[in-house]
Structures are given as structure tokens and as C-alpha cells.
Amino acid sequence: MKASRSALSSSLQVSVSPPERPVVHQNLERSRRTWRIFLRNHRDVLAAMDFLVVPTWNFRPLYILVLLDHGRRIIRHFNVTSHPTGEWLRQQLRKAFPSDTTIRYLIHDRDPIFTSLKPFLAALGIEGKVTAFRSPWQNGILERMNGALRSRHLDHVIALDENHLRRLVFKEPQAIAMA
């Protein structure tokens, strides 16, 4: 009986070599490559928006909205609030993108306040592009600018209120965008 089992197991052995790279990594690299191509091809008509959360001296959060123009890599618009609402965000977008705008795409993350703006953006002639879940590299220019903003201005000082935060951070907003 032992001989037959060993003969059976040796006849059933199949040599399978693992693929050079796992399929998951190939798909991830492909999605990164196509996203980079999209960013490069549309940079002149592309903008990005994100919130940066800053705690104040009494631990209440303040939200900085930053809208970045990818083509020129400058801050198109910014503002600070303690309570971001859909109406407040629509007003900021009206200020940032007047009717003569050349922006066609707006990159944003999956924040519920951003995803509720789809009909409003369509009325402005702008298509919202939502980044993938936990993929900050898809909005890398703005994420890097947010990091520079934190390290240069917010790591050393505690904000008192909205006006104080505006004075602290946006003395030279264009210099931050170029970092």
C-alpha cells in the first residue's frame, strides 16, 4: 500500500512556477501608470481640492480648503472655516471658478462633502474625479503642498482662531505651492 501511495503522489506532482510578479502588483502599477498619464495629459485643465484640518488652542478643529491649479501649480483659492458645509463649499467654488474658467476636471478625495457636489460641478462644466480609497498619491501635488504648509507654518505655532490661521499660513501662498 505504501508503494502505491508514493507512486500515485509522484505521478500527480505538477511543477508550477510562480509568476514573476504577483497579479495584484501588476494591476496596481497599471493603474498608477494610467493615472500619471491622465495627470500629464490634462494638467492645463486640471485642479485639485482638499481640506487640511488644524487644531486650535482649545482643541476645536479649523478646516483649510485649498484649491490648486495643476497647470501652473499655484493656489487658485483658499479659505478657512470652523464648520464646512455644502453651501459654504459651493460659494468657495463659485469664487475659485468663475464662468470663464478653463478647468474641466477637479480631483478630490472621498469626503462626503465633496461627493455631494457632483451636480453643482456639472453645472459649472467641471467633471469631478474622485481618488481611489487610501490613495493620496493620486492627488500628490496637493498632498505634498499640504505637508509643506504644515511643516513650514503649522508645526511651530498653535492657531487661535480663523483669522489668526489665515494670517499665519497665507502670508505667501504662492511660495507654498511651488514647494
Longest dimension (CA), the chain: 86
Bridging pattern class, strands 74-81 and 61-69: antiparallel
Average pLDDT in the 35-55 region? 81
Q: Does residue 9 fall inside a structural domain?
A: no
pLDDT of residue 135: 77
Asked if pLDDT for residue 71 goes beyond 70, the answer is yes
Q: DSSP string spanning 73-94? A: TEEEEEEEESS--HHHHHHHHH
The arithmetic mean of pLDDT across residues 60-87, rounded, is 89
Query: What gap in Å lies between CA 129 and CA 105, rounded to an integer?
Result: 7
Residue 1 lies in a domain: no
Is residue 33 assigned to a domain?
no
Q: Which domain holds residue 66?
A: 43-177
pLDDT reading at 156 higher than 80: yes
- 55-70 pLDDT, tens digit per residue, is 999 999 999 999 988 8
Q: What whole-number distance in Å separates Cα of residue 109 and Cα of residue 130?
A: 5
Residue 32 maps to a domain: no
The count of structural domains within the chain is 1
pLDDT in tens, 88-100: 999 999 898 887 6
DSSP character string of 45-64: GEEEEEEEEEEBTTS-EEEE
| Range of weakest confidence among 23-32, 72-81, 138-147 | 23-32
Whole-number average pLDDT of the chain: 78
Q: Is residue 101 part of a domain?
A: yes
pTM for the full model?
Answer: 0.72
Q: What is the pLDDT of residue 3?
A: 55
Chain-centre distance of CA 22, in angstroms?
27
Q: 140: domain CATH number?
A: 3.30.420.10
pLDDT value of residue 15: 58
Look at residue 34 and tell me if it is in a domain. Answer: no
Would you say residue 66 lies in a domain? yes
Q: Is 115 inside any structural domain? A: yes
The conformation of residue 114, written as its DSSP 8-state character, comes to H
